[in-house]
A and B are shown apart, each in its own frame.
Chain A
Amino acid sequence: MTKNLRVKSSKFIDETYKISFKFNNKTYYGYKGDTLASALLANGIHLVGRSFKYHRPRGIMTAGSEEPNAIVQLHKNTSRTEPNVRATEIEIYEGLEASSQNCWPSVNFDIGGINNFLSPVLPAGFYYKTFMWPASFWEKYEYFIRKSAGLGKSPTEPDPDMYEHKYIHCDVLVIGAGISGIIAAKTSAKSGFKTLLLDEKPYLGGSTIHQNSEHFKINNQISSSWLEKEINEIKKIDNLKIKTRTSVAAFHGYNFLLARENLTDHLPLHQRDEKIRHRLLKIRAKKVICATGSLERPLIFDNNDRPGILLSSAIEKYSNLFGVACGQKNVLFTNNDSAYETAISLFQKGINVEAIIDNREEVDSKLIKEIEKNNIKIYKGYTVNDTFGYKKIKKISIMQLSKDGQKVVGSKISIDCDCLGMSGGWTPAVHLFTQSGGKLKFRDDDQVFIPDTYPSDQISIGSCNGEFTLDEILTGISKKLKNFLNIKKTEYENLEIQSHFNKTKRNIWLLPSDKIMGKTKPFIDYQNDATAKDIKLALREGFRSIEHVKRYTTTGMGTDQGKLGNMHALGIISETAGSRMGELGTTTFRPPYTPLTFGTIVGRNVGEYFDIFRKTPIHDWHVENKAKFENVGQWKRAWFYPKENEGMHEAVQRESKAARDSAGILDASTLGKIDIQGTDASEFLNRVYTNAWSKLAIGKCRYGLMLNEDGMVYDDGVTTRLDENHYIMTTTTGGAATVLGKLEDYLQTEWPELDVYLTSVTDHYATISVCGPNSKKIISKVIPEIDLSDEKFPHMSFKNAKIDKVKCRVMRISFTGEQSYEINVQANYGKSVWDKCMQAGKEFNITPYGTETMHLLRAEKGYIIVGQDTDATMTPIDLQMDWIVSKKKYDFIGKRSLYRSDTIREDRKQLIGLVTENPKEVLEEGAQIVADANKSPVEMLGHITSSYYSPNLEKSIALGVVKGGKNMMGQNLIIPMENKQIKVTVTDPVFLDKENKRLNA
């Protein structure tokens, strides 16, 4: 260690275990137990990074997760690299490599530092104001803005680590293992509750555990010794589970919480393989006790951001917990008694304290007396008005505060120092409480927000509830826990507490300066470089809402989410705007409390597990035969089967021609299938479909259109009557689940009197469709026992049959317009039946076709696809399918809506066919349709919904929806494209075989 800043051994640091690590490519040493921040400080390094906007040198400010400045990039240019890691949280391990962010070429010499001198022209909202015009320049601006945006670099390689999710249920969850949390957890567990205690740090005990002052005693023992015994005891309790390095990220309603358990980030890289890195805990707790503690506030004065300026409590922690002196000439600046605790503990360790500057004028306490006794100079009623030193603080200047605290008076006093600790009092960490829906109240005495009303079964205890001193925390805790846990007694009824803390505080949100505001830089948000000046500017420009000021000045929008400065921003706004702080409210605290890695959120749902997909029983055959696949809902469907050098177009043209010329085969297993049984099945179908079903004979099939209650087409498909009270309904592939849901809804809630049972059998059957002029010959080879003659087995009928010994259902139904048979067979026989069909069809050149060819063939025939040619604004009348709407039925879902004033308009968009003037020109799906492209503005009449080149008709065909299209047959319209206008003619949507000769052949 270059400088001997490791002052005294600490029991939290193992000095026999030396660890080497690299910071900005240079090797340093630390000890087991160090964080990166404590190890750097022990090596005399304060300068860790550069600020976001002005690139000002910044150092370590805190000793916890609230750190705004000391954020580093780990393991640069490797797959394990991670940006924005807080040096104050990461524990060092052998081989750790960290580097500074947001600086180039180095943290010591950063070109971007010029922004600091440009700052007068970089006010709040600079980007909003500057890059507005000319609009055409945006692309150029964007390049530079993006280059200078962001702090660290995200990894570019796949993450080698594993992550997982775990559910945990408990009776009582205690968040935070400080003194309050330990007491609560022990009480809860000993009362028989299954208890879980979480803390983000690697050790238990919070800040009390390193509190070694004679001035704070419990039952006549120094508070840390007392707490240590408690900790040793709770470790032995069976029904208490303790997780350290576990940070609660989110507290949702109904006591549902998310926490990140960090399992390997403190281990050397080679020890991490095959281990889970982070575990996302999904916790359901019956009761929650928040003991999340509090965060020390900085003070807002000119140049309060230099390296070497830390929170006073952080200085205390570095010395007590890590045995590290942050400086050799320390000065403390405070508005309350906390800094005196720091001074005493530094003093005890032989670390020099030069002076204490206290905002308060007349104040006295036992702590202050002890400081005075040791001849440390205290400047009462003073403030720091400026600091000096570019990369490290060298000197401060102090002045006396006026009586009202609004001005500085008298002459400046200069004090040399290499470390300045500041304490602006404490802010309860109410983040999780408010996330859960809790409401805060403002306590005027010491200007803090504390929990007011609880939205669920939870309480906040300790300093997160505004109880900052040992006596405040401990005197009420027993009663609180008894009430909350509904228990008779605790071990903590009669604690004897000594606490010498004067609670007075002189709160001045923005400390005065001898300079004019415009010449100062009192930072509020360190990471985003928002100053008090920026906030005042926002107010002058008319911003009033705290949420707006936040976004305009970016206060609180860094990776630290403004844990330190948000309260000051609020304070300054309320002072400037003349409103009361409590009335102003706070900005919204959103999860996560500290950043989560994407890996934690995603868990095991990566790679092939990212999203589930469904395969048909014939899937492997499609893969073997080189099918390209298309996602339809969650299904993988064969899209087309390219041969040799074929592209999609060639393959689809070949498949389509083969299906009409001889035979095609399609795996239709993905179609939704719903088994409908019950004595009222026919009546039920009557009510859900637009056409009549009562007279459908057993063994016959019928196409049906299902509407929403608003009259718009919802789904379609063929339903077959298998028996008197037994139907099988098919739905679209994507609609299967929602159709079943909708039918169940009506059955359970509107028509519970109907005797009908619905069962989804989509996965139970494989469906193989063989179509084309030779399909009959092929099916007769596969199932010789059926009489396939048109008289015995006409179009739209069904037969039970057997293939070998396997039962199957054969429907003669068609979605292509060709004669076509669908074989439904128990799913596990699907593949063998498919093989049989392929074998039997060999002599007819049976051609497997995919969804693209299916779509082309049905478009030739003018059959719609719900969801492609319809979009929830199309009625059956709009689709020119009036024939399917029963005039006789009294009611069906959506009937009444078909003659609402809106649905009977003549100029609604209606489905029509389109052919191009040039038969080779294929239209783009989604293209607009207009009548007059020269009119301004151009009136959009509709759009193309389906478009193909038909190899069977040898021309381009399209379906589209056009306003009033029904009455435009033969009319010429225009499809305006980027560089041309395509002439089209409106036709009937049925392009092929209007007479259904092919179907019935």
Chain B
Amino acid sequence: MFLIHCPYCGEREQSEFKAGGEAHIVRPKQPTELSDDQWAEYLFMRKNIKGVQFERWVHTHGCRKWFNMVRDTSNDEIKAIYKMGEKPPTK
């Protein structure tokens, strides 16, 4: 179980959090104008990387806030954590 630094509450154990899948997938503003394929791309397609991945997490048993995390899925090393709406780290 890893430790996560919630940007609102501080360091807490993983069991307080839930993972919410890949980050930075924006819900299309005009879904009606998309083809089936384009909509399916948004709906189903996820990268599921072994390595550094951008993810969404929520502090379920805490402040209930969503935030973003950059995590290496191969060893659970957390590279960065930033709030929703903030720019992802570039390096």
Contacts and interface: CB of A to CB of B under 8 A. Distances in A.
Contact of A254 (B3, B26, B30, B43): B3
A161 interface: no
A252 B3 CA distance: 12
B62 interface: no
B46 interface: no
Contacts of B66: 744-745, 748-749
A895 B84 contact: no
Interface string A579-590: 000000000000
A890 B27 contact: no
B7 interface: no
A890 B3 contact: no
B36 A749 contact: no
B58 A741 contact: yes
Interface string B16-46: 0010100000111011101010011001000
B39 A896 contact: yes
Contacts of A745: 20, 58, 66
Interface string B61-91: 0001110000000011000000011000000
Contacts, number: 54
Contacts of A252: 1
Nearest to A890: B32
Interface string A253-286: 1101000000000000000000000000000100
Nearest to A740: B64
B60 interface: yes
A752 interface: yes
A880 interface: no
A483 interface: no
A253 B76 contact: yes
Nearest to B42: A709
Contacts of A709: 27, 43
Contacts of B84: 748-749, 752
Interface residues of B, number: 26
B39 A897 contact: yes
Interface in A424-444: 437
Contacts of A979: none
A901 interface: yes
A890 B32 CA distance: 8
A890 B33 CA distance: 11
Nearest to B44: A710
Contacts of A895: 31-32
B46 to A, nearest CB: 13
Interface string A794-820: 000000000000000000000000000
A897 B43 contact: yes
B85 A752 contact: yes
A302 B40 CA distance: 65
A852 to B, nearest CB: 32
Contact of B31 (A437, A741, A896): A896
Given A253-B75, A748-B65, A891 B60 contact: no
A900 B34 contact: no
A752 B66 CA distance: 11
B74 to A, nearest CB: 10
Interface in A740-798: 741, 744-745, 748-750, 752
A44 interface: no
A591 interface: no
Most buried by B among A748, A750, A895, A900: A748
A455 interface: yes
B34 to A, nearest CB: 7
Interface size bucket, A side?
A: 20 to 34
Interface in A307-363: none
A897 B3 CA distance: 37
Interface in A615-644: none
A710 B58 CA distance: 22
Given A254-B76, A750-B27, A900 B36 contact: yes
Contacts of A896: 28, 31-32, 34, 39
Contacts of A750: 26-27
Interface in A709-723: 709-710
A438 to B, nearest CB: 11
A897 B34 CA distance: 11
B63 to A, nearest CB: 11
Contact of B75 (A437, A710, A749): A437
Nearest to B14: A254
Nearest to B28: A896
Interface in A474-520: none
A741 B40 CA distance: 24
A271 B88 CA distance: 60
A720 B27 CA distance: 28
B73 to A, nearest CB: 12
Contacts of B85: 752
B36 to A, nearest CB: 5
Interface in A222-259: 252-254, 256
Contact of A253 (B1, B32, B36, B60): B1
A739 to B, nearest CB: 13
A897 B2 CA distance: 36
Nearest to B64: A744
Contacts of B27: 709, 750
A605 to B, nearest CB: 15
A307 to B, nearest CB: 44
A342 B57 CA distance: 58
A39 B28 CA distance: 75
Given A744-B66, A748-B84, A749-B56, A455 B34 contact: no
Given A437-B75, A896-B39, A254 B2 contact: yes
Contacts of B18: 741
Contacts of A752: 84-85
Contacts of B65: 748
A709 B39 CA distance: 10
Contact of A901 (B36, B64, B75): B36
Contacts of B30: 891
B71 to A, nearest CB: 12
Contacts of B28: 896
Interface string A731-744: 00000000001001
Interface in A875-923: 890-891, 895-897, 900-901
B85 to A, nearest CB: 6
Nearest to A748: B66
Contacts of A744: 58, 64, 66
A750 B42 CA distance: 14
A667 B26 CA distance: 42
Contacts of B2: 253-254, 256
Contacts of A710: 43
B4 to A, nearest CB: 10
A346 to B, nearest CB: 48
A500 B78 CA distance: 48
A253 B3 CA distance: 10
Contacts of A455: 75
Nearest to A896: B31
Nearest to A899: B36
Contacts of B20: 745
B28 to A, nearest CB: 8
Given A252-B1, A253-B2, A749-B84, A891 B39 contact: no
B5 to A, nearest CB: 12
20 contacts: A253-B1, A253-B2, A253-B75, A253-B76, A254-B3, A254-B76, A455-B75, A709-B27, A741-B58, A744-B64, A745-B20, A745-B58, A745-B66, A749-B56, A750-B27, A890-B32, A891-B32, A895-B31, A896-B39, A900-B40
Given A252-B1, A254-B3, A900-B40, 20 more contacts: A253-B1, A253-B75, A253-B76, A254-B2, A254-B76, A256-B2, A710-B43, A741-B58, A741-B60, A745-B20, A745-B66, A748-B65, A748-B84, A750-B27, A891-B31, A896-B28, A896-B34, A897-B39, A897-B43, A901-B36
Closest 9 CB pairs of A and B: A896-B31, A254-B2, A748-B66, A750-B27, A896-B39, A256-B1, A253-B76, A749-B66, A900-B36
